[in-house]
Each structure stands twice: as structure tokens, then as C-alpha cells.
Amino acid sequence: MDAVIEQKVNSWLNGAYDEDVKTSIKELQKNNPEDLADAFYRNLEFGTGGLRGIMGIGTNRMNKYTVGMATQGYTNYLKKSFPNEEIKVAIAHDSRNNSRFFAETAANVFAANGLKVFLFEDLRPTPELSFTIRHLGCKGGVVCTASHNPKEYNGYKAYWTDGGQLVPPHDKAVIAEVEKIADVNDVKWSGGEANITIIGKELDDAYVQMVKSLSVYPEVIRQQKDLKIVYTPIHGTGIKQVPAVLKAFGFENVTIVDEQATPDGNFPTVHYPNPEESEAMSIGLKKAQEIDADILCGTDPDADRVGIGVKDTKGNWVLMNGNQTAVLAFNYMIESRKEKGLQQPNDMVVKTIVTTNMIDVIAKQAGVNCYNVLTGFKWIAELIREKEGKEKYIVGGEESYGLMIGDEVRDKDAVSAVALLCEMAAYEKSKGRSLYEKLLDLYVKFGYYQEDLISITKKGRNGQQEIADMMESFRANPPKELAGSKVIQLLDYEKGVKTDLTSGATETIQLPKSNVLQFITEDGSKISARPSGTEPKIKFYFSVNTQLSAPEHFAEAQQKAKGKIKQIISDMSLA
């Protein structure tokens, strides 16, 4: 075994760690040294969003010690940032195995350091945690979740005073404080239990009322209160609030998918508890078909991502992708505000750089400012803070099934998204059409955009290096032509430079640096390459567009667009 790894293992065997942990280490030494090496070969990185990793013993795993040390470092930064002030923090968790234990561990460490802790009595959606931080005037907060990752994973997301996740300079500063915690003896583990307040119903009620206030057409819901809604929480936290919010909106015909209604960290009915995966939505689709529903909605374990299913023009059920759902939501918020006379000259919407450009076109034609930020809702939250008092935020979103409606929550919120998507379905039904037909109308009006995403996973200790090598290769040698169209622009967000590949002219990209590359072709196609910040994978996003003369030509245009994306993937040697 590598000497550095062996030293780490011995420090756990001889340090202030629980005896059962030491026993497990010895068993791995004897029976599975490779797994032991993987558990200790590095420290689980406290990234700009917090921790995320496989649960288990070791410095490279999610466990009591990595969570406690992260919390001590975060505590130290909070105390430096707010000297001589009362520091309040809120904590929530999802349905994953050990999430409650990790939440209580964090609560105990915060409290032992003299912070006032508000800990939810039971699992709650991540967006409710963001809302709670703002509602209670907290300086920060934590949610224990690994979002849509497989069941072996858990995580720890840190938040700041505005209810958004950490952004510069706080993200790097917190990381620096966490890295200073070199030993479990640096952590105050207990002794402040009196500083912990258990919260629940009062915050639930306030959150539901806030979401209810986002409704644009309550009168339409009254007419369409029997809209047939099927909802699945996919064994997650959505069950705590989505049914309550739909009831508050006035919907009376909601069917919960029983097989996936009970919170369960083993996610027994799915491989990946992610509404982006058709397999995770399959039981809900079957139920929607059985009862001839109007809309199917599914949320991930911490209820920040939403997926929807609707019937196409032939009555077949289809799952919308994240870009399509975002297009419908952005258009609805812009269009309905205009119809009701609510639109203001300073309205703004925000999307990420890898999300469909169709949203930019919709916003421009409506006279609404549309901003593009880096991937992650923390950047949307930061922009809201920057524009506060100058521009009015309406809606934000990204292609990975995330929406944030209104600014009372500063992270993606599938609970309010489900309610608004159902309101949209009710509104379209009152006009005699479906959400699918509405999307086709938008394609005819604004142009047809087809997106796709592929993820390439590189596991193990060499995985990260392979991904880094792939990015450097594309950076140094961008493709000359994709699907028969010349590549004319390279956007390198790591270097902060946009290069015209025809003339060689460059300009600065006015965004924080991030390891993302984008290739723009002469015909308007956009290809983005981005290593994941939380998983050993690299993601490639593809977007092509064309005109659609009439809804009945959609199938033909879609087939052509998908063929074009397939050709781009082949040209980039990704398949």
C-alpha cells in the first residue's frame, strides 16, 4: 500500500475514532485492501458546494468524521464573518440512508460552537431549507443530501445568508477553513445541545403560503380543479410538501404513485432516483396512462428537480426533457404576466450557459432581460442579489430539470415548479389544448431547438486525470467542423476568453472562471463540454436549431435534428 495512504489508515486506527470504525478498517486490510486504499487515497473534497461522496469509513467517504470536520471549518468561517453577532443556522436533510444522522452530527457541532441551530424534525425538501434561512434570518445553513445520485452516496450542501449556496469569496474561504481542520480532535462534537431548536409545521405553513402566492391564474385553477395530476416523489422528500402545495393551489384530483410514496434511502423501485431518467418515471407513466391523467410530475430525493410527462398529439405519453420544461415555464411566466398586466420594464429571467437558447429568443421578443450564468443555481442566486432593487427576478432555470420561480427561495425548487407546471397544464386545458401542443406552437413561433446530453464516466483514481486530459485536448485542438458546419467560435470559460476562430479575434467573457468549453458553429449549433463538479464524469451538451413551419412537421424536423446531433457526437469521437 502507498505510504501516504498507510499513514492515513494508521492515524484512524490509532486516533480518536469509534471502535467499530477501527474494526471495519482491519477487516478491509485483511479482505479488501483495494477498497481500503480507495477509501483513504485522498480527502473527500469540500468543493464550492460542499461535500458529496460514497458513504463509508475513510477520509474519502461521507461519514461522521468528514461531516463533523466540514461543519467545524464552516463554523469557524461563520464566526470570523460575523464577530460579536448571534449566528443562526438552519439544517435539513433528505430521505437518504444516514441523512438524519449527518444532519444531527452537523447540528451538534454547530451548537457546541455556540451557534443557534434550527433543525427540522424530519426530512424536508432542499428548497424549504433555502426559504427557512431567509425566513428566520439565518447566517447560513446546511442540507444533507446527494440529490439524484445513486443510493450509495450522500452529501452536505452549505448555504449563505441569502439562502443561496456558497459563491465567491465565501466558497473558497470556507474551503480554506475546512482544510485547516487536520484532526478529529479539532472538532467540538458536543456540549451545546441547548442551542438546538427543532422546527417543523410553522415553517411548512409559511413555505406553502409563499408558494401559493406565486400562482398567476388562480381563477383558471378554480375552473380546472379536477385536472388529473399524477405525482411521484421517487421515495424522497417531495411527499412532505408537494401534495400540500397542490391542495393549497386548489387542485382536487391528485393521484400519488403509491409504490414510490414512502421515503426510502434504498430507492427500491429505481436504479437512479432521478426524474431525468425515464426508468425512474416509468411507474408514474403507467399510472398516468391507467387513469388518463393530464400531467405526470416527479421529483428527486431532495425535491429540487422536477420531471414531467404529458400526452402528445396522438395520445401517447412522452417525458419532457429539462430544456422543454424550462421553455414552457419561462414562456408561461413571461406570457401570463404580460396578459395580466403584471409585466414590468425591469423584469428579468436567468438561465445557465448550457440551457437552450430558445429561452433567450422568447425573452428578447417579449422585451424581458435574459441573463446567462454558469451552471448551478448559486449563480442565479448571486445575480438576483446583484440586481436587487434594480431589476425584478421572475424565473430562472437550467436544463438539468431545475426551476426557481420567484425569489423567496434561492435554490432550485421542484415543489413550486410542480405547482406552476400543473397550473400551466390547467391554463392550456382551459384553452382546449395540452402542454405538448403549446410547446409545438412555441417551436413554430420562435424556432425549433433540439438538445441532447451525454455523460462519459471515468471511475477510479485515474478517472479525474482522464477527464482533465480530454478537456485539454479539446481546448488545444477544437474541432474544425461539426455535422458539415464550420466551428466559428470557441468559448473557454476557464480562461475567460471567447475566440473567433475565423479571424482569431478575442474578447473577455464576463463570468467567473469555470472549466467549461463551448463550440459554436456557423449554423447556430452549440456544443458544451463540462466536467461534473460532484461526480467522476464529463458532460457534453448539444443544441441544434431550425425553423418549424407547422406543428404537423414536427416529427420530421425532430428526426433530422436528432440525426444532426448524432453526427456531431460522431465527429467529436464521443461515440
| Catalytic residue IDs | 147
User: What's CA 384's distance to the chain center, in Å?
Assistant: 17
Pairing, β 517-521 against β 485-492: antiparallel
Query: Which H helix or E strand runs over 72?
Result: helix 64-81
Length of the chain: 575
For cell 485515474, what's the residue? Answer: 462
DSSP-derived secondary structure letter, 83: T
Cα distance between residue 489 and residue 266, in whole Å: 45
Cell of 443: 417551436
Amino acid identity at 8: K
| CA trace torsion 419, 423, 424, 430 (10° rounding) | 160
Cβ atoms 224, 426 nearer than 8 A: yes
Report whether 232 contacts 298 (CB < 8 A). yes
Alpha-carbon gap, residue 118 to 571, rounded angstroms: 53
3-state secondary structure of 377: helix
Give the 3-state secondary structure of residue 533.
coil
The helix/strand/coil state of 54 is strand
CB 278 within 8 A of CB 212: no
Q: Do residues 566 and 450 make contact, with C-beta atoms less than 8 angstroms apart?
A: no
Cell of 68: 463533523
Kindly tell me the sign of the dihedral angle through the C-alpha atoms of 566, 449, 277, 374.
positive
Q: Is 77 helix (H, G, I), strand (E, B) or coil?
A: helix
Strand-strand pairing, 537-546 and 196-199 = unpaired
Which residues does 70 contact at the CB level (< 8 Å), separation at least 6? Answer: 46, 50, 51, 156, 178, 181
**Gap between the Cα atoms of 372 and 472, Å rounded:** 24
Using DSSP's 3-state secondary structure scheme, residue 418 falls into: helix
Provide the 3-class DSSP secondary structure of residue 537: strand
* CB-facing half-sphere around the CA of 141: CA atoms within 13 A: 30
Q: At what angle do helices 322-339 and 435-446 cross, to 10 degrees?
A: 80
Kindly tell me the burial class for residue 119, based on how many C-beta atoms sit within 10 Å of its own C-beta (0-12, 13-18, 19 or more): buried
Residue 546: all three cell numbers together: 431550425
CA 511 to chain centroid: 20
Placement of cell 473557454 in the chain: 492
Q: Distance between terminal CA atoms of the chain?
A: 36
